[in-house]
Structure formats: structure tokens, C-alpha cells
Amino acid sequence: MWPPVLPSASNDPLAVNVGNMLDALFTDPPRDLTPPAETPAVAFRSGGEELAGVLHIPAGPGPHPIVVILHGFPGYERNFDIAQALRRAGYATLVFHYRGSWGMGGSYSWAKVLADAATVVAAVRDPGFASRHRLDPGRVAVAGHSLGGFTALHTAAADPAVAAVVSIAPFDFGAMGVACRTDAEQRGWCLRMFEECMLPLRGTSPQALLTEMETAGEAWRLADLAPRLADRPVLLVGAGRDTVSPEPFHVRPVVEAYRRHPVERLEHHVLPTDHAFSDHRIALIRLVADFLHRHFAKP
């Protein structure tokens, strides 16, 4: 059985202690497991366009819990190291591209990112898709980084079937949109940052993205999602040297709001690293895997 299990009445491959599960993150599974691990290309329809993705399926019959991993803006860091490590620990993982990005059809916008994530998270629970890929539609988590962290929280808040959510260095487009209306310095910084990220995108502009963010404003604030996440496990991970999503502005107010509500299964960590967790990837993987294991392993 993989990951390595302790004596238990459960046949669930995730019914292991946390130490064993963490060892499995960095150990290849036995070669004789059937079916073997697979990495099929998959596609989803959203807004009339096709979204390309890659599914990482663990070895063994499953059904495996599934973690949909949402990349940031524009998607230079796609967190495939997290996807592969979670697969070794017994989770299926999915990474995909949004409309208007990285060669996908249609035009790019923040609202379309939110809609695409909702569509894909629902699609992986489809009985036919789940059965074909040995997935457990009752154990679906959403994880994301930066824009993906923002989108993960909104996706879970709107979809009660999402069992757990991981938000890594989330960029709070709601709070930033409100701030940019009156803060010329913040507005200029956002425009410059958006401009630097246009190459993989189509059908948009820095000004269009800024206007959309400012218009949405209060409706997108992450702190206000607390009532809709109160019954779910939520992991928020900030970065102490983050200059893109500075933790005091983008993460700390969200944590405080969720604790006040309360979101009772909230977990919060700050790692001493940059926005991409460049020198703390192993620590990040261990945090995410430990969190998912404690909330997904069947008794």
C-alpha cells in the first residue's frame, strides 16, 4: 500500500500518520503498484473556450482525493513541485490554464479566472471524469498561489462541495481595488506590475485589469468571505519577505477577520521568504501536505 500505512481498520491509502505521509512526499512509490501513476493531458470547456490542463494521478486503484492547483498572475510559477509531491503522498492533482492565458482561447480577465476555476472544480467531480481518472469526487480541495490563492478562497466560498482550501501568499484584489481608487502610489505600482506580465496574456491590458479590480473592490475582499468558509478547513500561508502580496496588507487582515467570525479550522503560517517561496519550497510542500492529510484522511 502506498503511501505507507499503519495498522488500521481503514483501507484508505491516506490513513497514515503524518510522519509517514511526509516521508512519502519525497520517496518514489513501489514499482509494482497497479494501475501505475499516470500524467494525462486533460481539457475543460469554460465560457465557450477550451482550457488545457495536466492531471497527476497516483499509482493504485483509488479513488484518490483531488487537489486543483490554481496558478497566479500570469502563471510563471505553476507549482508543479507541489503537484508532484502531493501525488507521491497519494493525492491526484490538477494544474490548468485560464482563458486568455498561455495560448488558451478567449480574452483574459479577473472575472474569467474566477469563472474558469469554478467550472474546473465542478468538472473534476463529474462522475464520468472522476471514474475515468480514479478520483474521489467527495474529497476535492482547492489550492492556489497569489492570484490563485485569491481565487481558491473565492472558489471554496462559492462552492460548498469544496472540502478544504489552501491559499498561499494571496493577492487580495478586493482590498487592493479599494485602495487604488484613492492611492495614486498603489495605483501606479499595480499598473507597472500588470504591464510586466502581459506577454502570456491576450485580449486585455494593464489599464483594463486595473479598472476591473477597482470596479469590483468591496465585492472581492477576502476578509468578507469568512461566513461562507466558517465550516471548512482553511490554510493561509504568508511570506515574510513578500513584496508582491505583502503579508501585513494581503494576509494578516484576512486572518484576523476569519478568527473573529470565526473560521474554526483556520490555520495560518508565515515563512521567511519571498513571494514565490523561492528558498522555502520544501517547507511549503510539507505545510500543505500536512494540512491536507489531517483533513482528508479517513478514520
For 255-282, write each residue's pLDDT tens digit. 999 999 999 999 999 999 999 999 999 9
Q: Is the dihedral of CA 21, 26, 29, 30 positive or negative?
A: negative
Give me the pLDDT at residue 167, please: 98
Where exactly are the structural domains of the chain? 18-171+220-296
Edge-first strand order for the sheet with 64-70 is 41-46, 49-56, 92-96, 64-70, 135-145, 164-168, 234-239, 266-271
CA–CA separation, 221 vs 172, rounded Å? 6
- Give the pLDDT confidence score for residue 24 in this predicted structure: 76
Q: Which CATH architecture has domain 18-171+220-296?
A: 3-Layer(aba) Sandwich (3.40)
**CB distance 215 to 115 below 8 Å:** no
Q: What's the average pLDDT block by block, 10 residues per block, for the chain (299 residues)?
A: 38 46 75 90 98 97 96 94 95 98 98 98 98 97 98 98 98 98 97 97 98 98 98 98 98 98 97 98 96 79
Which residues, including other chains, have CB under 8 Å from residue 16's CB and lie 6 or more apart? Answer: 3, 4, 5, 6, 24, 293, 297
* CA-to-CA separations, 43 to 97, 116, 188, in angstroms, rounded: 10, 12, 37
Whether residue 281 contacts residue 79, with contact meaning beta carbons closer than 8 Å, is answered with: no
The string of pLDDT tens digits covering residues 198-246 is 999 999 999 999 999 999 999 999 999 999 999 999 999 999 999 999 9
pLDDT at 13: 43
